[in-house]
């Protein structure tokens, strides 16, 4: 009973918030509703009893969207609306059609719900974290390790791209100041 | 309402000490009442402690030793005009303080603030109800609390971005970099104790250290303890990491345009977060409330010590620059935390 109410509440809120994310022309509304929607998605995990995944969803997306905010801060004025240019109507047609197709498939999916079975059900008396850990290090070991290597590569690439003048402090070193000014003038 | 409560308690009294919804409700009300009172009183304590450390008297005029200063401040905050700047994004501007205050208290719902106890039988209606130590005992408690406290930083971020003020934007930008800096250190530093205990539940942490002072995790994980404290200071915006609203540099940062109770909500949230961090440090590293019958007293003493430590540090240290904070977190603390986790793993396996 409570779970049904909670499910419909979370569903309505999540869909509404993500609609705002897509429709709004204000970057602050879009980002905030995206963050709130991501936080509410963790509610579905909690309803399903997957506490660990719910918390991971919470932590990961809170941090990830915080990083997106910093980009929004750099590129947009958060208190003004953004004028969008839609020159490519073919692309809009294609994306709209794909969304409609996905929607139809989502609504048709329950027809085949019998075919869906939980291959790795939760164990009674064992914590969520332990269950996830066992599955990660047996069945999904290879994807897990590949993801880890990809993240490592991305991290090293990021450090190399950004770290050319890491030892110089921009605020302490006067020559760095000059360099920034020169680059500005050159533009 | 009362009749419902009575009958439910009657049925639940028979099989104690099961956690009933009445018990959880009492605990939730207890946390809300006690913590918001302490959060308000904390501002007074902070001013007094800072004053004594700087050889001043602090607030003295309102009431004996300035004790009623809290009431005066409260009346001032409640009656002040609630100003919303003209060019601000009004909706976001108005909900931002609520995010900070709400997430701080949601985080507290998964933290054991006092030991569990049973209300004595002679008290009418509620007598015999078992009150759990945590309002909602999740088996992933630590992660939930850290995630909720991280979500609390959306308050300063949105406040700064929505108020159409340069200082606000700088405050918001500093919020983002501070969050991205300390979050890694918090997670990695607390990972080593989690590996030792093998659980994410605060109750398991408490029970794992039940063997007296010698079994406290601080002796096995001193490095993790120091790292967690430093990251905790950054998490609660305390000096030396109070970059978001440092008066000498950015006027008041994200809170520049706020007045009245909306401004007050930021600070209730901040003090509630200070208490949360103190409780986590006390339970994860200093044995929690495991000392038999005296548990309720020792946990208060431990939390009080950490709260005092935050004020002490504020009186003793100047604050750092944003680039110094990033340097400290990414180049010093994070490698130490990773090494600590690896060494803990090796010691556990061998």
User: A66 and B92: CB-CB below 8 Å?
Assistant: no
CA distance A4 to A6: 5
Integer Cα distance of B279 and B305 in angstroms: 10
- Contacts with B179 from chain A: Cβ below 8 Å: 63, 66
What is the distance between the terminal CA atoms of chain B, rounded to a whole angstrom? 58
Looking at the structure, tell me whether residues A146 and A75 fall in a common domain.
Answer: no
- Residue A159 included in any domain: yes
Residue with tokens 């601000």: B88
- How many structural domains are present in chain A? 2
Q: Count the Cβ atoms, other than its own, within 10 Å of residue B178.
A: 23
Residue B8 CB neighbours (<10 A): 14
For the ranges A144-148, A178-182, B119-123, B308-312, which has the lowest average pLDDT? Answer: A178-182
Indicate whether A1 and A77 sit together in one domain: yes
Q: Report CB contact under 8 Å: B161, A78.
A: yes
Residue A95 in domain: no
A176 occurs within a structural domain: yes
Q: Do A128 and B139 touch (CB under 8 A)?
A: yes
Chain B CB within 8 Å of residue A131 CB = no
Coil, helix or strand at residue B153:
coil
Is residue A153 situated within a structural domain? yes
B chain contacts of residue A73, beta-carbon cutoff 8 Å = 161, 169, 172-173, 176
Helix, strand or coil, per DSSP, at residue B242: coil
Nearest to B144 among A55, A62, A170 (CB): A55
- Rounded-to-integer distance, Cα B201 and Cα B209, Å: 13
Domain count within chain B: 1
C-alpha distances (whole Å) from B55 to each of B47, B63, B308, B313, B315 are: 12, 21, 17, 16, 11
Residues of B in Cβ contact (< 8 Å) with A53: none
Which residue of chain B is at minimal alpha-carbon distance from A166?
B327
Let me know if residue A108 belongs to a domain: no
pLDDT at B7: 40
Asked if A59 lies within 8 A of B150 by C-beta distance, the reply is yes
A163: left (phi over 0), alpha (psi -120 to 50) or beta: alpha
Indicate the pLDDT class of residue A151, thresholds 50, 70 and 90.
very high
Per-residue pLDDT at A170: 60
Give me the residue from B87, B147, B199 closest to A55, CB to CB.
B147
- Note whether B92 contacts A32, CB cutoff 8 Å: yes
Look up tokens 């950054």; give the residue: B234
Per-residue pLDDT tens for A84-139? 777 778 888 898 899 999 989 888 887 877 777 777 776 766 667 778 888 888 88
Q: Of A32, A49, A81, which residue is a domain's last?
A: A81
Q: Is residue A123 part of a domain?
A: no
Q: Is B340 exposed, middle or buried (0-12, 13-18, 19+ CB in 10 A)?
A: buried
Cα B86–chain centre separation: 33
Average pLDDT, whole number, for chain B?
Answer: 81
Q: What is the DSSP string of chain A?
A: -HHHHHHHHHHHHHHHHHHHHHH-SBHHHHHHHHHHHHHHHHHHHHHTT-HHHHHHHHHHHHHHHHHHHHHHHHHS-TTSBPPP----HHHHHHHHHHHHHHHHHHHHGGGGGGG---SSPPPTTS-HHHHHHHHHHTTTHHHHHHHHHHHHHHHHHHHHHHGGGTTS-TTT-HHHHHHHHHHHHH-
Question: What are the two backbone dihedrals, phi and then psi, of residue B80, each rounded to the nearest 5 degrees?
Answer: -70, 150
pLDDT value at B323 more than 50: yes
Shortest Cα–Cα distance, B242 to chain A (Å): 19
Q: Is A32 near chain B, with CB under 8 Å?
A: yes
Asked if B141 contacts B110 with a C-beta cutoff of 8 angstroms, the reply is: yes
Put simply, whether A67 touches B (Cβ < 8 Å) is: yes
More confident residue, B313 or B138: B313
Model pLDDT for residues B239-292, shown as the tens digit of each residue: 788 887 777 787 887 888 888 888 888 888 888 888 889 888 888 888 877 766
Q: Are residues A1 and A72 in the same domain?
A: yes
Closest by Cβ to B161, choosing from A28, A35, A62: A28
A53 CB within 8 Å of a chain B CB: no
On the question of pLDDT at B150 being above 90, the answer is no
Q: Measured in Å, how far apart are chain A's first and last C-alpha atoms?
A: 64
Q: Do A28 and B150 touch (CB under 8 A)?
A: no
Distance, C-alpha A43 to centroid of its chain: 15
> Quick one: average pLDDT of B313-328?
85
Report residue B11's pLDDT band, with 50, 70 and 90 as the boundaries: very low
* Domain membership flag for residue B294: yes
Residue B194: closest CA among B183, B205, B207: B205
The per-residue pLDDT for A100 is 92
pLDDT at B12 over 50: no
Given CB atoms, is B231 within the 8 Å cutoff of chain A?
Answer: no
Question: To the nearest whole angstrom, how far is the Cα of A78 from the nearest Cα of chain B?
Answer: 6
Residue B235 lies in a domain: yes
Name the pLDDT band for B10 (thresholds 50, 70, 90): very low
Residue numbers of the domain that contains A176: 140-187
What local confidence, expressed as pLDDT, does residue B126 receive? 67
Q: Is residue A71 part of a domain?
A: yes
Could you list the residue range(s) of the whole structural domain that residue B167 is in?
Answer: 83-115+138-349
Mean pLDDT of A156-177: 71
pLDDT at B211: 76
List CB contacts (< 8 A) between A25 and chain B: none
Assess: ipTM above 0.85.
no
Residue B197 tokens, joined? 């205990």
Does B14 map to a domain?
A: no
Dihedral sign of CA atoms B187, B192, B195, B201 in order = negative
> Lowest-pLDDT range, A120-124, B145-149, B174-178, B202-206?
A120-124
Q: Is there a domain that residue B284 lies in? A: yes
Mean pLDDT value of segment B153-181 = 85
Q: Which of residues 84-113 of B touch A (CB under 8 A)?
A: 87-89, 91-92
Q: Determine whether the interchain pair B162/A39 forms a contact, defined as Cβ–Cβ distance below 8 Å.
A: no
Positive or negative: CA dihedral B217, B223, B228, B229 = positive
CA angle B287, B115, B299 (to 5 degrees): 45
Q: A43-47, A180-184, B142-146: lowest mean pLDDT where?
A: A180-184
Q: Is residue B59 part of a domain?
A: no
A36 within domain boundaries: yes
Looking at A62, A81, A100, the residue that finishes a domain is A81
d(CA B63, CA B83): 30
B144 in reach of chain A (CB within 8 A): yes
């Amino acid at each position: 009973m409570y779970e049904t109410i909670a499910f419909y509440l979370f569903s309505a809120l999540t869909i509404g918030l993500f609609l705002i994310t897509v429709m709004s022309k204000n970057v602050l509304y879009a980002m905030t509703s995206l963050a709130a929607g991501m936080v509410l998605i963790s509610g579905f995990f909690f309803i399903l009893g997957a506490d660990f995944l719910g918390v991971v969803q919470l932590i990961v997306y809170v941090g990830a969207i915080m990083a997106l905010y910093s980009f929004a801060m750099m590129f947009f004025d958060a208190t003004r609306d953004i004028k969008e240019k839609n020159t490519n109507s073919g692309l809009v047609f294609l994306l709209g059609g794909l969304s409609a197709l996905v929607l139809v498939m989502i609504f048709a999916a329950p027809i085949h719900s019998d075919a869906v079975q939980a291959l790795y059900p939760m164990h009674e008396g064992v914590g969520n974290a332990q269950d996830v850990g066992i599955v990660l290090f047996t069945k999904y070991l290879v994807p897990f390790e590949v993801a880890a290597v990809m993240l490592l590569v991305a991290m090293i690439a990021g450090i190399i791209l950004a770290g050319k003048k890491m030892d110089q402090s921009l605020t302490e070193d006067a020559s760095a100041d000059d360099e920034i000014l020169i680059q500005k003038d050159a533009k | 309402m009362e009749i419902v409560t009575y009958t439910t308690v009657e049925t639940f009294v028979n099989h104690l000490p099961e956690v009933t919804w009445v018990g959880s409700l009492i605990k939730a009300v207890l946390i809300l009442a006690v913590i918001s009172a302490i959060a308000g009183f904390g501002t007074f304590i902070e001013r007094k402690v800072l004053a004594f450390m700087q050889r001043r008297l602090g607030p003295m005029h309102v009431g004996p030793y300035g004790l009623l200063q809290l009431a005066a401040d409260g009346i001032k905050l409640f009656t002040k005009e609630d100003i919303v700047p003209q060019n601000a994004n009004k909706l976001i501007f108005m909900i931002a303080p609520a995010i900070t205050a709400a997430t701080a208290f949601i985080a507290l719902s998964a933290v054991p603030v006092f030991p569990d106890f049973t209300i004595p039988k002679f008290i009418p209606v509620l007598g015999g109800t078992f009150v759990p130590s945590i309002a909602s005992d999740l088996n992933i408690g630590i992660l939930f609390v850290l995630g909720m406290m991280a979500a609390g930083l959306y308050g300063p971020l949105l406040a700064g971005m929505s108020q159409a003020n340069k200082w606000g934007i700088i405050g918001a930008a500093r919020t983002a970099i501070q969050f991205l800096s300390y979050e890694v250190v918090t997670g990695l530093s607390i990972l080593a104790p989690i590996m030792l205990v093998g659980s994410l539940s605060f109750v398991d942490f408490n029970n794992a250290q039940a063997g007296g002072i010698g079994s406290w995790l601080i002796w096995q994980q001193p490095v993790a303890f120091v790292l967690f404290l430093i990251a905790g200071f950054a998490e609660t915006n305390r000096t030396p990491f109070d970059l978001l609203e440092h008066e000498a540099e950015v006027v008041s940062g994200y809170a520049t345009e706020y007045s009245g109770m909306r401004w007050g909500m930021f600070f209730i949230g901040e003090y509630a977060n200070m208490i949360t961090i103190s409780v986590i440090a006390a339970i994860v590293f200093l044995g929690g409330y495991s000392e038999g019958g005296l548990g309720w007293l020792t946990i208060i003493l431990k939390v009080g010590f950490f709260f005092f430590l935050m004020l002490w540090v504020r009186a003793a240290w100047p604050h750092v620059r944003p680039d110094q904070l990033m340097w400290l977190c990414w180049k010093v603390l994070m490698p130490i935390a990773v090494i600590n986790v690896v060494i803990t793993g090796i010691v556990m396996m061998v």
